[in-house]
């Protein structure tokens, strides 16, 4: 069944310096979820990506229209938790002024929402491929908060460090002046070329979906679609939550930029999660090789298949050794 698989179970222990909240409600999907289907799906081909590039990716889906995730009671719990997790907020380089990661190591309610089989199954139906909650828990329940000064973007134009996620409104967008979630109707390659020429974002190609209220989300192929949280025009509380997913088919490209996280996440958790994710990808690919490689295979084919099976591990090792880089954005 789509979405019901688990890439790597959520860890049974926490990294150092994380403690569980002991006074929060228990997550109950019957009370806290109100899942609805999006009315529109945009494909990568609609943005200008060609078939050859799309064929290597986790899904041909680019994004969806907003759809409901949380019930009214669920939105109240989520908002209270997000406000509580603000105590642990920090910047993400010069891209996001205030964000909290690792919240699923503090809040069991947030953890259970982010790894919910109901939500994963719903996301799989949108993406059209089997998905699971991201195998790196630091990508689960990422929370962005409004900046402290007007004119600063909540999150600058970028494409994500992971391929699949949703962005959910935690506060009510109707109460805000500005702060819209926006995405670019074009490819990330076009964005690179425009920035190289010093051109501004063409506003006629910017889409700002209308979120009906808190607890609504938009599904993203985050690594492929350029997007941002726009600046506020007036001071106000603006909170959003991002939850990550992985495609269970490991034959597609691994689209993450985990090296960006070296300057963002606590190393206590990051390197172990990163290594386990790379190992899971290699384990899956090696399993396919074990099952399918025939006797009499051409030696050159054998070498290539072995190389492709461990490419994610080799990349992770190289990136870890190379060390930190500035976090990606287009501004």
And the tokens for 170? Answer: 């935690």
Q: What global pTM score does this model have?
A: 0.95
And the tokens for 297? Answer: 């295979």
The pLDDT value given to residue 1: 35
Q: Binning pLDDT at 50, 70 and 90, where does residue 6 land?
A: confident
Q: What average pLDDT does the segment 250-268 reach?
A: 94
Q: What average pLDDT does the segment 200-211 reach?
A: 96
Question: Looking at the predicted structure, is the pLDDT value of residue 2 above 60?
Answer: no
Is residue 197 packed enough to be buried (19+ CB in 10 Å), middle (13-18) or exposed (0-12)?
Answer: exposed
* Domain architecture of the chain: domains with CATH: 29-253 (2.60.120.620)
Q: What average pLDDT does the segment 37-50 reach?
A: 98
Q: Locate all alpha helices (DSSP H) within 186-251, ordered by sequence.
A: 188-196
Q: What average pLDDT does the segment 18-47 reach?
A: 98
Give me the residues paired with residue 165 across strands: 220, 244
The pLDDT value given to residue 150: 92
The pLDDT value given to residue 5: 66
Residue 3 near residue 124 (C-beta atoms within 8 A):
yes
CA distance 237 to 179: 10
């Amino acid at each position: 069944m789509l979405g019901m698989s688990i890439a790597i179970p959520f860890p049974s222990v926490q990294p150092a310096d994380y403690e569980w909240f002991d006074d929060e409600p228990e997550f109950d999907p019957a009370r806290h979820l109100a899942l609805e289907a999006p009315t529109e799906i945009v494909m990568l081909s609609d943005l200008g990506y060609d078939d050859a590039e799309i064929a290597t990716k986790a899904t041909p889906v680019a994004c969806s229209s907003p759809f409901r995730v949380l019930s009214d009671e669920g939105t109240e719990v989520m908002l209270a938790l997000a406000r509580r997790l603000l105590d642990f907020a920090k910047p993400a380089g010069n891209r996001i002024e205030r964000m909290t990661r690792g919240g699923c190591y503090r809040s069991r309610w947030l953890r259970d929402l982010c790894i919910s089989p109901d939500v994963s199954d719903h996301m799989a139906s949108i993406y059209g491929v089997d998905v699971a909650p991201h195998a790196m828990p630091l990508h689960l329940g990422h929370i962005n908060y409004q900046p402290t000064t007007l004119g600063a973007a909540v999150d600058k134009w970028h494409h994500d460090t992971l391929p699949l996620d949703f962005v959910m409104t935690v506060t009510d967008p109707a109460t805000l002046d500005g702060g819209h979630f926006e995405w670019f109707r074009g490819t990330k390659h076009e964005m690179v070329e425009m920035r190289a020429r010093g051109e501004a974002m063409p506003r006629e190609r910017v889409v700002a979906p209308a979120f009906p209220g808190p607890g609504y989300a938009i599904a993203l192929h985050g690594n492929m679609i350029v997007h941002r949280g726009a600046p506020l025009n007036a001071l106000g509380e603006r909170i959003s939550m991002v939850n990550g997913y992985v495609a269970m088919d490991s034959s597609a490209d691994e689209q993450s930029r985990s090296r960006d996280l070296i300057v963002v996440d606590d190393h206590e958790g990051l390197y172990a999660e990163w290594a386990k994710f790379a190992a899971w990808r290699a384990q899956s690919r090696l399993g396919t090789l074990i099952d399918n490689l025939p006797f009499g295979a051409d030696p050159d084919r054998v070498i290539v298949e072995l190389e492709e099976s461990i490419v994610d591990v080799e990349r992770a090792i190289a990136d870890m050794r190379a060390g930190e880089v500035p976090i990606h954005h287009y501004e």
